């Protein structure tokens, strides 16, 4: 690899550990808000992947989801806590992949803390619906792909690059270790 390509690669790669990894996770989850949660299917009725809305990201990097305790998601996690999360925030950046451990809970105080009126769509009895369960997802490792200067600058660089016939790469990617 020549020194120009190696320099470009080094400029477009940054790994994060611990608090910096959690900060990047929070940043990208706040943009995307939803993800695909993948589990090992426990039954033939589950394909193992489904869209989920993140209810909260804690300062530790743990993510909270609400799920029905009679769902295939719940059944998949019960015997196997290994999960993968896939986030996509915008068309040009904000991609996040996490490998994590999932824990099921029925903590009533946490349910009340996370409750939003729109959730009554799925839990018709409200925050006291006996079917509500929580999934706490604790990331261990991951990967992100983002841009360095925000979506507006990245968009301008893409447009200019297309006009000029030149790559003006604004992307940055790296590994995350929590």
79 vs 72: CA distance, rounded Å: 12
Residue-wise pLDDT tens digits, 43-61: 776 789 999 999 999 999 9
Give the pLDDT band of residue 92 (cuts 50, 70, 90).
low
Determine phi and psi for 175, rounding to 5 degrees: -90, 150
Determine phi and psi for 54, rounding to 5 degrees: -80, 125
Q: Which residue has the tokens 């915008």?
A: 90
Q: Average of pLDDT values for 137-166?
A: 66
According to CATH, the topology of domain 3-177 is Pnp Oxidase; Chain A (2.30.110)
Residue-wise pLDDT tens digits, 119-136: 999 999 999 999 999 999
The string of DSSP letters for 138-159 reads EEEEEEEEEESS-HHHHHHHHH
pLDDT of residue 82: 96
SS (H, E, C) 54-75: CCEECCCCCEEEEEECCCHHHH
pTM above 0.95, yes or no: no
Q: Where are the domains of the chain?
A: 3-177
């Amino acid at each position: 690899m020549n020194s120009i390509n190696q320099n470009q690669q080094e400029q477009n790669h940054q790994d994060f550990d611990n608090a910096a990894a959690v900060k990047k996770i929070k940043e990208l989850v706040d943009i995307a808000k939803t993800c695909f949660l993948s589990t090992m299917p426990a039954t033939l009725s589950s394909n193992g992947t489904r869209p989920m809305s993140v209810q909260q990201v804690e300062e530790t990097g743990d993510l909270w989801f609400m799920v029905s305790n009679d769902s295939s998601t719940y059944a998949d996690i019960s015997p196997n806590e290994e999960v993968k999360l896939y986030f996509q925030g915008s068309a040009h950046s904000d991609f996040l992949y996490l490998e994590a451990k999932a824990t099921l809970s029925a903590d009533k105080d946490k349910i009340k803390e996370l409750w939003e009126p729109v959730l009554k769509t799925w839990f018709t009895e409200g925050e006291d619906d006996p079917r509500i369960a929580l999934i706490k997802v604790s990331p261990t490792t991951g990967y992100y792909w983002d841009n360095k200067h925000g979506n507006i600058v990245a968009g301008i660089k893409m447009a200019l690059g297309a006009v000029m016939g030149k790559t003006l790469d604004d992307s940055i990617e790296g590994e995350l270790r929590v």
